[in-house]
Chains A and B, each alone.
Chain A
């Protein structure tokens, strides 16, 4: 028996050793020292080198300043070769392999136009030449590209690409300081310029009016609603043509409904059924919200005093099935058909048409809206969304 136990130990030994190895690898010794850790020493050296490169650059980007600075900058990056250019020519080459400088201006031409970083293989015929890969970064002042910094390496390196970007930015700051007298920084343009409203002005007006009505009576509720409103508009103002996930879309619908309920209170009842496994499904951005908006409108229209809306998102194998149903006024089927043919209609009809078109565009004709309705019979809209379709990825 003891023999077997010993055998077990022999087998278990390597296992325990291996486990210890894994654990040991995890716990890195963290040394503290009064004379500085290696990281701290490296930082000091970097700062010192940077301070040496700064004075020449403060004189602006000339051949002489570039020559002096390039030496320091190459030390800073630790590369085999480093080059500085202005808009037209190579200003300074530091390190080996300056036979590359002849073709360099062609290689960075695009970068000087766009101000965008670029990486390229050197495609050098000389097999002994260590420079096989380069990253070029623009030097910018006031959003204008003054020139470029090019770092060469024996192989591609994300670390060098990042470091070159940082150094170029530091150089740009120095150049910017040099140009401070001549140039003025522009105001940052408002990002709102690019926003396009997806939601109706009516909705914004009504929501704000509803929120305003709570400001005196229930300031806390008003504050919450305002936050919901901000969140909802932020989501709706996103770039168009994008995709989202069912979870995000439902979250936005929730915020929309909170705002609607602020106006209509108990007149509206919403029931939601969600199978959690369909929540990561990717779908075209804002393709359910208009359907819910439609259901709300139909439900609260005319003589109907109370309205019930049911939203369900169920798992159907390779597809998700979303159903939005209301018990409101419904719609004449003929009128709905003509709306879906694109032959005009009110704003709610436009919403249906828009969603139908986008679904068919993305998933094919088999995935258009299926609507069950009749005048006075409420409306049930069914959307089927494939869980996977090449090119459709929620972000």
Chain B
């Protein structure tokens, strides 16, 4: 038996307080404050990004929409094996790669457009 008991810990928490609600989006207030002008800038960015996404998606939809018909018309198992088993994946990655480049370029262009904007 030890002469001096090892010091024990006790759990302590503060008492509940009435919670004051946090104002929404405080960190974003500066962007919020840009009002109509800030909105015009942001909308132009959103439009350009949406255009990039839709372009790539249209391409994908075209392929996915026509391939089943083509397969049904051809009735060739080899074609299906080749296209779906091997060809599709590099193409999907290629589209993704193109989109990312385009989206990042849009963001760079937007940053250039906005930088040097007179400080509010």
Contacts and interface: CB of A to CB of B under 8 A. Distances in A.
Interface of A: 3-5, 7-8, 10-12, 14-15, 18-19, 22, 25-26, 114, 116-120, 135, 137-138, 156-159, 161-162, 165-166, 168-169, 241-243, 330, 333, 336-337, 340-341, 353, 356-357, 360-362, 364-365, 368-378, 380, 390-393, 395
26 contacts: A5-B78, A8-B79, A11-B83, A15-B63, A18-B63, A117-B37, A118-B37, A119-B35, A119-B37, A119-B40, A156-B40, A157-B40, A158-B113, A161-B40, A165-B117, A330-B9, A340-B12, A365-B16, A365-B19, A370-B13, A372-B11, A377-B6, A377-B7, A390-B24, A391-B25, A393-B27
Given A365-B16, A374-B8, 12 more contacts: A4-B77, A11-B70, A156-B43, A361-B20, A369-B13, A371-B13, A372-B10, A372-B12, A374-B7, A377-B6, A390-B24, A393-B25
Interface in B65-101: 66-67, 70-71, 74, 76-79, 82-83, 87, 91, 94-95, 98, 101
A372 B8 CA distance: 9
Contacts of B22: 361-362, 391-392
B77 A14 contact: no
A26 B101 contact: yes
B67 to A, nearest CB: 7
Q: For B15, B27, B76, which residue has the most chain A Cβ atoms within 10 angstroms?
A: B27
B108 to A, nearest CB: 14
A139 to B, nearest CB: 11
B118 A117 contact: yes
A176 to B, nearest CB: 14
- Interface pairs A-B: 10 shortest CB-CB: A158-B44, A7-B76, A377-B7, A340-B14, A376-B7, A119-B37, A4-B78, A8-B79, A333-B10, A11-B79
Contacts of B11: 370-372
Given A10-B79, A241-B26, A391-B22, A158 B12 contact: no
Contacts of A168: 118
A368 B13 contact: yes
A116 B118 CA distance: 8
Contact of A395 (B6, B13, B27, B40): B27
A344 to B, nearest CB: 14
Nearest to A284: B22
A138 B117 CA distance: 12
Contacts of A169: 118
A119 B24 CA distance: 25
Interface in B38-63: 39-41, 43-45, 59, 62-63
Nearest to A341: B15
Contacts of A3: 76
